Amino acid sequence: MLKHAVVNLINYQDDADLATRAIPELIKLLNDENQVVVSQAAMMVHRLSKKEASRHAIMNSQQMVAALVRALSNSNDLETTRVTVGALHNLSHHRQGLLAIFKSGGIPALLMCIQYVWKCLCVYMEQFVKSYAGTVHMCEGSSVRQQEGPTTLCHIA
């Protein structure tokens, strides 16, 4: 049992180290002019955000969260939008992730995305905004109101 716990701890640390080393390069790729490159980088960040250790490394990098928000804002591709919103959704399960998304201007970007009809995307965003609404006291809610968040949410609910 102890051996299994030690192996799990080592694997967790390896995931965190891998993500920490990959983040600077992924930020560059997310900021690339080529949308195919941005899409591939967003897919990788989404995969990394599914693991606890990697997710914490991403949340701790304000530049990474800002690059995700920028990729989301600049994307016209549904797949890029889906994986970017998915990564932000995974980060939003943590208070620290919510704050990083807020500081990066992610709330207006996510609310603008609700225009998309794609069911999976709407589910991610609805869950994110509900999580955010539950912790809105930690940040001023003006960005949500400015983007007509409550009205938009009523349309998808």
Render pLDDT for 25-37 as a digit per residue (tens, 0 to 9). 999 999 999 999 9
Asked if pLDDT for residue 71 goes beyond 60, the answer is yes
Q: What is the pTM of this model?
A: 0.70
- Does the domain formed by 2-156 have CATH 1.10.1510.10? no
Confidence of residue 128 (pLDDT cuts 50, 70, 90): confident
- Alpha-carbon distance 155 to 157, whole Å? 6
Render pLDDT for 75-94 as a digit per residue (tens, 0 to 9). 888 899 999 999 999 999 99
Strands (E), the chain: none
Residue 156, pLDDT score: 47
- Going from N- to C-terminal start, the domains of the chain cover 2-156
Residue 108, pLDDT score: 87
Mean pLDDT, the chain, rounded, equals 80
Name all contacts of 6-13 with Cβ < 8 Å and 24+ positions apart: 12/52, 12/53, 13/53
Render pLDDT for 46-64 as a digit per residue (tens, 0 to 9). 999 998 888 999 999 999 9
Residue 127, pLDDT score: 78
Q: b/e per residue, 33-67, with b = 16+ CB within 10 A? A: eeeeebbbbbbbbbebbebebbbbbbbbbeebbbb
